[in-house]
C-alpha cells in the first residue's frame, strides 16, 4: 500500500489507494482545515503535492495554481509527499472569547440546577443514633421541602469520614432530578467557588458560558465534527460509514470542543475544572445524540425517530466531559428528531410560550427551525437551511469573529465593515445578508442570484463560472481574495428559501399569515448586526413592519443559561417540549412548491414583498 | 325550477400576443398570428371568450431532416435540402406559422456561423409570408452569438425568438428588444420557475405582454401529464389574476414525438403496433389535441399529416 508523508509534520501513514489526501491526513493525525466535509466546496484544505501523482477530482472551489484541495486528491498506487501550508493546518479549531454582561447574581443562585448548602448536623449520640446518611437526609428534608434524596454508593463509602472531617458541619452539593435531589458531595467546605456552565452545541459552532462569580465571557469555536460533514445528515452518514469508529469519532470531537471551551473559560476566570459541578447543554437532536454517544442513524430514516428526546441528567464520567467528576450534565429536551433542545431553549429564553398573542421564533442555524405560538399553543417545523448563514461551507465564510465582515453598504463602490474593525478575514452571516441585498440592488446579480456578466467586481473563472470579487487579497487580512461564488449565492438562496417557505407552510396550516404575528424573533449565532431591511430585501424575513422583527441572539445558549440558573426553567423546557406540535415538512404536499417560489429574490410572488418590489 | 347559473367569472385574462408584421405594420408577412385572449378555462364556451383558435407551427431545421423518423421524412424528401422550399411547403400544408430551428449552428452539427444563420432566417422570410418562430440551439454560448444576428436579420418582422432561460436570458432579451420581437421564455415544468423567468425578463425591459411561455414539452405517454398539469396550474393562477402567468403557452410537440419509440419505430420492427403510417401522425396529433385541452395556444409540429388531423379535430370542437 502507498505511503503518504505529510510535511512539515514529517508524519507518514500507509493508506489504501482510493483514500483522499484529507482522509489520509486525518489518519496521520495531521488535521487539515476543512469546513465542508470534504466536498470540494469550502476551499480550506489547500495543500501542495510535492512528490508523487494523485488523481484529481473536480471541485467547486478552484485552488491557487500549483496547489490542490486535499479532499479532491485521491491516492493512487504511488507514494506521495504532501506539504500542508500553515493556513491549512488546524491543530485545534481556535477558541474565540467574547465579553458579555456579567450575570447579576452570586453563584450559584438558590434554585439553580446544582446547589450548595452548608448544614449544621447534630452529631450522633446514644439518644440520636440515626445512621450518617439518614442524618444528612433528615437535615436536608428540613432545608428544602423535598423528601427524596439519593446518595450514591461511592459517596456512602466516604460519607462517615467526610462528615466527621467536617465536624458535622458539611458543605453539601446537590443536583435537581425529576424525582428529587441527588447528593453530589458532602464533606468539609472546599473553600472554592461552585460554578455551572451553559453550552450550546450547534452543528457549526459550539458556544459555552461559565456561570461563576464575575464570569462574563462566552467562548466559541467551530464544531470540529465539521470535518466529517457540514450538516447533521452528513454526520449521521459518517456514523453509518464506519459504525463503531464513526460515532466514536464524532463524540470525541464534540466532547473535545466543549472541554477546550470550558478549559479556556475556567482558566480565564482563575478557576479549575473541578469547580464546575453542573453543565446544561442545549443543541439540536442529532448533536445531543452525538454528545451522549447515542446511535443517531434512525433520525435520518423514515419515520425519523431519535433514541431519546427527554434526557436524564448524566454523569460527566459517562460522557467524557472534564468537569468535577461528581458533577452532573443536564441535557435540555428535544421535541422531535429535527426540532431539538436548542429550540425548546429558545422558547424558554424568549418567553414565547408566555406571550398573549402569537409570535414566531426563527432559529437560523444550520437547520432552520421555526416555532409559532403563544401561551395557548406552540407549533414548530424544521427546514434544512445549511450552514451558509453561519459562514460555514462558503468560499470566504467566517463565524462572527473579529475581522469578519458583518455589514455591507452599496453605492458607487460596495463598502464593508468588520467586527472589531480588524482587517477582513471573511464574511459572516449578517455580512452575507447585506451583500446579497446590495448586489441585488446594484444590479450585480439578478433575482435568481446569477451574477451579471461584466458587472463591476464580477469576474469569469471559466466558461460557466462567474464569481464576485468582494475584497482583494491586498486589502484582506488573509492571503487570498474574499469572494462570493455562484455556489455560495445558490446556497444562501436555498437557505433563505427553506426558512421562508417553512414559516409560510406552518402559518398556512394555522390559517394565519405573517402579519398576524405580534413579533418575529430571529435567533442565531450569525452576528448581531442584522440589517432588517436587507433581510427582507432578500426574502429571508417576511415584509412586515420592521419593528415587529427582533433579533434575539443565540437563544439556545441563553435558554441553557436560564435553565442552569433556575431549575424551574429546566422543568419548563420539558413542558415546552411536550406541548409543541411538530409539522413534518418532508411529507408536506405544499412545501416543495413554497420552497421553489421562495428561491428567488425576494420571492416569486412580488405581492408578498410590497415594500421591496413596489407591488401592491 | 330554473337552472342555476354556474358560470365562473375570472378576474384575469390571458395576454393576446400577435406574431408577424404585415406591410402596414412595417414587415413583409402576408398574415399574422394572434394567440391568447381567453377569459376562462379551455374549451368552456358557455362561460368564457376564446377570441383566437390555437395556432400551429410546422418545424423546419437548418440541419435538415437528419434524425427525423421515416413518416416525417417521406413528406419532406423533396424540400428538406432547401429551407425556402420547405417553408413554402409548410404554408401549402396549412401551417399558421413556421418554426425555424437553427440546429446547424449546434457545435455537434456543422457549427454554422451567426451570419449563415441570419442568412437562413432571411431565406425563410423571403420564401413564405407566414410569421416566424426562430428557435436557437439550446447551447447558451452559441445562442448568444447567433440569435442577435438573427433578430437583426428579421428586424421589423415581429417574430418570436427562443428560448430565453433562467441561466441565459440577457442577450436574447436585449436583441429582441432592439429589433422588436417577441420572446419565448422557457422554464422546466414548474409555474414558479416560469414566473421567476418572467420577472427576470421584465427586469431587463421585456414587457410581460411580449412573452410566450414554454413550460417544456412531454410527448403523450412520456411526461405529457406533468406538463399538462403545469399548464393547468398556470392557467388557474393566470385567470385568478397573476400577471406573471398570463402569457400564452407554446408546446414543441414534433421534436418530442421524434423521441418516442412507439411513434417512430417502423412497422417491420414492431409489427404488433400496427401501421407506422397511421401510428406516427396519430401520436403527434393526439398529443397536440390534449395540450390544447390543457390550455396551450401555440403548437409546434413536424408531421404535416399530424397537422391536418389536429387542425381538423380542433376546428370541430373549438368553442
Between positions 125 and 164 of B, the ones with CB within 8 A of A are 141
Helices (DSSP H) in A462-547: which residue ranges? Answer: 486-509, 532-537
Residue A527 sits at the vertex; the CA angle it makes with A46 and A279, to the nearest 5 degrees, is 90
* Closest residue in A to B200 (Cα–Cα): A447
Q: Is residue A171 a part of any domain in this protein?
A: yes
A398-425 pLDDT, tens digit per residue, is 878 788 999 999 988 899 999 989 899 8
**CB pairs A-B closer than 8 Å:** 31
Closest to B237 in 3D by CA, of B183, B186, B195: B195
Q: What average pLDDT does the segment A323-342 reach?
A: 96
Highest mean pLDDT among A109-123, A342-356, A448-462, A516-530: A342-356
CA distance A260 to A329: 16
Q: Which three cell numbers stand for residue A106?
A: 452570586
Q: Is the pLDDT of residue A545 over 70?
A: yes
Least confident of A204-218, A447-461, B117-131: A204-218
- pLDDT given for residue A298 in this prediction: 92
Q: Kind and range of the H or E element at B133?
A: strand B132-135
Q: What are phi and psi of B38, to 5 degrees?
A: -70, 150
Over the stretch A216-234, which tens digit does the pLDDT of each residue have? 889 998 888 887 877 888 8
Here the cell at position A616 is 401592491
Q: What percentage of chain A carries pLDDT values higher than 70?
A: 97
Residue A15 lies in a domain: yes
Question: CB count, 10 Å around CB of A91?
Answer: 8
Cα separation, A47 vs A67, whole angstroms: 6
Measured CA to CA, the distance from residue B33 to residue B17 in angstroms comes to 8
Instruction: Clarify whether residues A579 and A510 are in a common domain.
Output: yes
A591 and A499 inside one domain = yes
Please tell me the predicted confidence (pLDDT) of residue A566.
Answer: 93
Provide DSSP, A177-215: ETTEEEEEEEES---S--EEEEEEE-SSEEEEEEESTT-
* Whether residue A437 is found in the same domain as residue A514: no
Contact B244 A463 (CB under 8 A): no
Does residue A326 share a domain with residue A201? Answer: yes
The pLDDT profile of chain B, 319 residues, written as one tens digit per residue, is 788 888 899 999 999 999 999 999 999 999 999 999 999 999 998 999 999 999 999 999 999 998 999 999 999 999 999 999 999 999 999 999 999 999 999 999 988 999 999 999 999 999 999 999 999 999 999 999 999 999 999 999 999 998 999 999 999 999 999 999 999 999 999 999 999 999 999 999 999 999 999 999 999 999 999 999 999 999 999 999 999 999 999 999 999 999 999 999 999 999 999 999 999 999 999 999 999 999 999 999 999 999 999 999 999 999 8
Cell of A521: 424573533
Q: Is the peptide bond before A8 cis (omega within 30 degrees of 0)?
A: yes
Where do the domains of chain B lie?
A: 26-317
User: What is the third-level CATH fold of B26-317?
Assistant: TIM Barrel (3.20.20)
Between the CA of residue B279 and those of A450, B265, B267, B313, what are the distances in Å?
A: 44, 9, 9, 16
Give the ranges where A144-189 is alpha helix by DSSP (H).
153-165
Alpha helical stretches, state H, A299-356: 316-319, 341-350
Domain that holds residue A497: 350-387+492-613
Q: Does residue A417 sit in the same domain as residue A381?
A: no
- The proportion of chain A whose per-residue pLDDT surpasses 90, expressed as a percent, equals 61
- A297 and A216 fall within a common domain: yes
Residue-wise pLDDT tens digits, A254-293: 999 999 999 999 998 899 999 999 999 999 999 999 999 9
Q: Which residues of A touch B199 (CB under 8 A)?
A: 447, 600, 604, 606
Is there a contact between A99 and A187 (Cβ–Cβ < 8 Å)? no
pLDDT tens digits, A464-523 = 789 999 999 898 888 789 999 999 999 999 999 999 999 999 999 999 999 999 999 999
C-alpha cell at A178: 425529576
Burial class from Cβ neighbours inside 10 Å (0-12, 13-18, 19+) for residue A143 reads middle
Q: CA A12, A14, A20, A24 torsion: positive or negative?
A: negative
Q: Supply A396's cell numbers.
A: 470566504
Report yes or no: A187 and A170 within 8 Å, Cβ to Cβ.
yes
Angle between helix B191-203 and A591-598 (nearest 10): 10
> Residue B200 is nearest to which of A447, A453, A606, comparing CB atoms?
A447
**Which chain B residues are Cβ-neighbours of A605 within 8 angstroms?**
195
Domain count across chain A: 5
Inter-chain CB proximity A604 and B244 less than 8 Å = yes
Q: What gap in Å lies between CA A332 and CA A353, rounded to an integer?
A: 16
Cβ <8 Å between A606 and B199: yes
What number is the average pLDDT over the span A527-533?
Answer: 81
pLDDT of res. A91: 47
The mean pLDDT of A516-539, rounded to a whole number, is 88
Q: What average pLDDT does this structure show over A340-363?
A: 96
- The position carrying cell 422583527 is A549
Same domain, residue pair A542 and A470:
no
ipTM here:
0.85
Q: Chain A closest CA to B196's CA: distance in Å?
A: 6
pLDDT tens, position by position, A11-66? 899 988 988 998 888 788 787 877 677 777 777 788 999 989 899 888 777 777 88
pLDDT at B281: 97
Number of neighbouring beta carbons within 10 Å of residue A520: 20
Q: Which of A38, A37, A60, A44 is nearest to A488 (CA)?
A: A60
Q: Which residues are CB-contacts of A554 (< 8 A; sequence separation ≥ 6)?
A: A200, A207, A523, A524, A525
**Using the beta-carbon criterion (under 8 Å), do B166 and A463 form an inter-chain contact?**
no
CB contact under 8 A, A596 and B190: yes
Which residues of A are less than 8 Å from B170 in CB distance?
452-453
Nearest-CA distance from B140 to chain A in Å?
Answer: 10
Q: Are A395 and A42 in contact (CB under 8 A)?
A: yes
Please count the other Cβ atoms lying within 10 Å of the Cβ belonging to residue A518: 12
Of B141, B192, B244, the CB nearest to A596: B192
Q: Do B192 and A447 touch (CB under 8 A)?
A: no
- d(C-alpha B143, C-alpha B186), whole Å: 14
Same domain, A534 and A586: yes
Chain A interface residues facing chain B, Cβ-Cβ under 8 Å? 446-448, 450, 452-453, 463, 593, 596-597, 600, 604-606
Residue appearing with cell numbers 468537569: A323
Cell of residue A190, nine digits:
472546599
CA distance A602 to A290: 36
Q: Decide: residue A142, CB within 10 A, 0-12 exposed, 13-18 middle, 19+ buried.
A: exposed
Confidence of residue A104 (pLDDT cuts 50, 70, 90): low
Coil/strand/helix, residue B228: helix
The verdict on A289 and A419 lying in the same domain is: no
Write out chain B residues lying below 8 Å of A597, CB-based.
192, 195
- Choose the final residue of a domain: A166, A187, A208: A187
- In terms of Cα–Cα distance, which of B183, B116, B110, B108 is closest to B145? B116
Residues of A in contact with B139 (CB under 8 A): none
The grid coordinates of residue A241 equal 460509514
Length in residues, chain A:
616
Same domain, A398 and A505: no
Given an 8 Å threshold on Cβ–Cβ distance, is B192 in contact with A593? yes
**Judgement on whether residues A411 and A449 belong to the same structural domain of the protein:** yes
Q: Which residues of A fall within a CB distance of 8 Å from B190?
A: 596
Last residue of a domain, one of A448, A481, A514: A481
| Same domain membership, residue A504 and residue A582 | yes
Domain boundary among A130, A158, A187: A187
Taking alpha carbons only, the member of A446, A599, A574 closest to residue A177 is: A574
Alpha carbon distance A4, A24 (integer Å): 7
Amino acid at each position: 500500500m502507498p505511503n503518504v508523508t505529510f510535511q512539515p509534520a514529517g508524519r507518514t501513514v500507509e493508506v489504501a489507494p482510493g483514500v483522499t489526501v484529507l482522509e489520509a491526513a486525518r489518519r496521520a493525525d495531521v488535521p487539515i482545515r476543512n469546513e465542508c466535509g470534504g466536498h470540494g466546496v469550502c476551499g480550506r484544505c489547500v495543500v501542495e503535492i510535492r512528490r508523487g501523482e494523485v488523481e484529481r477530482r473536480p471541485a467547486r472551489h478552484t485552488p491557487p495554481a500549483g496547489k490542490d484541495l486535499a479532499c479532491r486528491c485521491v491516492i493512487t498506487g504511488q507514494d506521495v509527499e504532501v506539504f500542508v501550508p500553515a493556513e491549512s493546518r488546524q491543530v485545534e479549531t481556535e477558541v474565540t472569547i467574547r465579553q458579555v454582561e456579567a450575570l447579576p447574581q452570586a453563584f450559584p443562585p438558590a434554585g439553580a440546577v446544582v446547589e450548595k448548602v452548608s448544614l449544621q448536623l447534630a452529631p450522633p449520640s446514644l439518644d440520636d443514633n440515626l445512621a450518617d446518611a439518614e442524618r444528612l437526609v433528615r437535615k436536608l428534608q428540613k432545608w428544602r421541602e423535598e423528601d427524596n434524596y439519593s446518595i450514591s454508593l461511592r459517596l456512602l463509602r466516604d460519607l462517615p469520614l467526610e462528615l466527621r472531617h467536617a465536624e458535622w458541619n458539611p458543605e453539601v452539593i446537590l443536583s435537581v432530578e425529576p424525582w428529587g435531589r441527588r447528593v453530589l458531595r458532602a464533606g468539609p467546605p472546599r473553600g472554592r467557588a461552585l460554578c455551572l456552565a451553559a453550552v450550546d452545541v450547534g452543528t457549526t459552532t459550539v458556544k459555552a458560558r461559565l456561570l461563576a462569580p464575575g464570569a462574563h465571557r462566552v467562548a466559541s469555536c467551530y464544531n470540529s465534527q465539521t470535518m466529517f460533514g457540514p450538516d447533521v445528515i452528513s454526520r449521521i452518514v459518517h456514523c453509518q460509514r464506519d459504525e463503531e469508529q464513526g460515532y466514536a469519532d464524532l463524540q470525541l470531537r464534540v466532547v473535545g470542543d466543549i472541554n477546550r471551551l470550558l478549559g479556556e473559560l475556567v482558566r480565564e476566570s482563575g478557576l479549575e475544572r473541578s469547580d464546575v459541578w453542573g453543565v446544561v447543554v442545549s443543541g439540536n437532536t442529532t448533536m445531543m445524540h452525538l454528545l451522549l454517544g447515542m446511535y443517531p442513524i434512525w433520525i435520518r430514516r423514515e419515520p425519523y425517530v431519535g433514541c431519546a428526546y427527554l434526557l436524564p441528567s448524566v454523569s460527566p464520567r459517562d460522557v467524557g466531559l472534564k468537569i468535577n467528576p461528581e458533577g452532573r450534565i443536564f441535557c435540555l429536551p428535544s421535541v422531535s428528531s429535527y426540532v431539538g433542545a436548542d429550540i425548546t431553549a429558545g422558547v424558554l429564553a424568549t418567553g414565547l410560550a408566555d406571550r398573549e398573542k402569537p409570535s414566531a421564533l426563527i432559529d437560523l442555524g444550520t437547520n432552520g427551525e421555526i416555532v409559532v405560538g403563544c401561551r395557548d399553543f406552540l407549533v414548530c417545523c424544521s427546514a434544512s437551511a445549511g450552514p451558509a448563514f453561519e459562514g460555514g461551507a462558503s468560499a470566504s465564510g467566517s463565524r462572527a469573529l473579529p475581522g469578519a465582515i458583518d455589514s455591507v453598504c452599496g453605492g458607487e463602490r460596495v463598502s464593508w465593515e468588520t467586527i472589531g474593525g480588524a482587517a477582513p478575514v471573511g464574511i459572516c452571516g449578517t455580512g452575507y445578508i447585506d451583500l446579497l441585498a446590495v448586489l441585488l440592488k446594484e444590479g450585480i446579480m439578478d433575482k435568481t442570484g446569477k451574477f451579471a456578466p461584466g458587472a463591476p467586481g464580477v469576474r469569469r473563472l471559466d466558461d460557466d463560472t462567474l464569481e464576485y470579487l468582494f475584497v482583494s487579497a491586498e486589502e484582506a487580512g488573509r492571503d487570498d481574495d474574499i469572494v462570493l461564488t455562484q455556489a455560495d449565492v445558490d446556497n444562501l438562496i436555498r437557505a433563505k428559501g427553506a426558512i421562508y417557505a417553512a414559516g409560510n407552510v406552518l402559518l398556512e396550516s394555522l390559517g394565519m399569515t405573517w402579519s398576524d404575528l405580534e413579533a418575529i424573533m430571529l435567533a442565531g449565532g450569525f452576528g448581531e448586526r442584522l440589517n432588517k431591511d436587507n433581510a427582507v430585501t432578500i426574502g429571508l424575513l417576511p415584509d412586515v413592519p420592521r419593528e415587529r422583527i427582533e433579533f434575539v441572539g443565540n437563544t439556545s445558549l441563553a435558554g441553557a443559561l436560564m435553565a442552569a440558573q433556575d431549575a424551574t426553567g429546566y422543568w419548563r423546557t420539558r413542558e415546552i417540549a411536550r406541548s409543541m406540535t411538530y409539522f413534518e415538512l418532508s411529507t408536506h404536499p405544499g412545501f416543495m412548491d413554497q420552497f421553489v417560489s421562495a428561491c428567488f429574490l425576494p420571492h416569486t410572488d412580488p405581492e408578498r414583498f410590497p415594500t421591496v418590489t413596489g407591488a401592491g | 325550477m330554473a337552472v342555476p347559473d354556474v358560470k365562473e367569472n375570472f378576474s384575469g385574462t390571458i395576454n393576446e400576443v400577435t406574431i408577424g408584421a404585415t406591410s402596414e405594420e412595417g414587415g413583409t408577412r402576408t398574415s399574422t398570428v394572434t394567440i391568447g385572449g381567453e377569459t376562462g378555462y379551455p374549451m368552456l364556451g358557455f362561460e368564457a371568450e376564446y377570441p383566437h383558435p390555437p395556432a400551429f407551427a410546422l418545424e423546419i431545421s437548418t440541419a435538415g431532416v437528419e434524425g427525423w423518423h421515416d413518416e416525417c421524412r417521406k413528406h419532406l424528401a423533396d424540400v428538406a435540402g432547401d429551407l425556402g422550399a420547405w417553408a413554402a411547403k409548410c404554408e401549402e400544408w396549412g401551417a399558421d406559422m413556421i418554426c425555424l430551428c437553427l440546429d446547424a449552428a449546434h457545435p455537434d452539427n456543422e457549427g454554422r456561423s451567426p451570419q449563415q444563420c441570419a442568412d437562413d432566417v432571411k431565406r425563410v422570410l423571403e420564401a413564405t409570408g407566414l410569421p416566424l418562430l426562430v428557435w436557437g440551439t439550446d447551447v447558451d454560448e452559441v445562442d448568444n452569438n447567433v440569435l442577435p444576428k438573427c433578430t437583426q436579420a428579421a428586424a421589423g418582422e415581429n417574430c418570436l425568438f427562443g428560448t430565453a432561460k433562467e441561466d441565459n436570458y440577457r442577450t436574447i432579451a436585449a436583441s429582441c428588444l432592439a429589433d422588436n420581437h417577441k420572446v419565448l421564455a422557457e422554464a422546466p415544468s414548474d409555474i414558479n420557475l416560469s414566473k421567476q423567468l418572467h420577472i427576470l425578463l421584465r427586469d431587463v425591459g421585456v414587457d410581460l405582454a411580449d412573452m410566450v411561455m414554454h413550460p417544456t414539452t412531454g410527448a403523450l405517454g412520456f411526461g405529457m401529464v406533468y406538463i399538462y398539469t403545469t399548464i393547468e396550474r398556470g392557467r388557474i393562477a393566470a385567470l385568478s389574476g397573476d400577471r406573471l402567468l398570463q402569457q400564452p403557452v407554446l408546446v414543441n410537440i414534433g421534436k418530442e414525438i421524434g423521441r418516442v419509440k412507439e411513434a417512430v419505430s417502423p412497422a417491420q420492427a414492431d409489427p404488433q403496433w400496427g401501421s407506422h403510417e397511421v401510428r406516427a401522425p396519430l401520436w403527434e396529433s393526439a398529443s397536440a389535441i390534449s395540450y390544447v385541452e390543457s390550455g396551450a395556444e401555440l403548437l409546434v409540429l413536424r408531421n404535416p399529416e399530424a397537422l391536418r388531423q389536429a387542425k381538423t379535430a380542433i376546428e370541430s370542437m373549438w368553442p
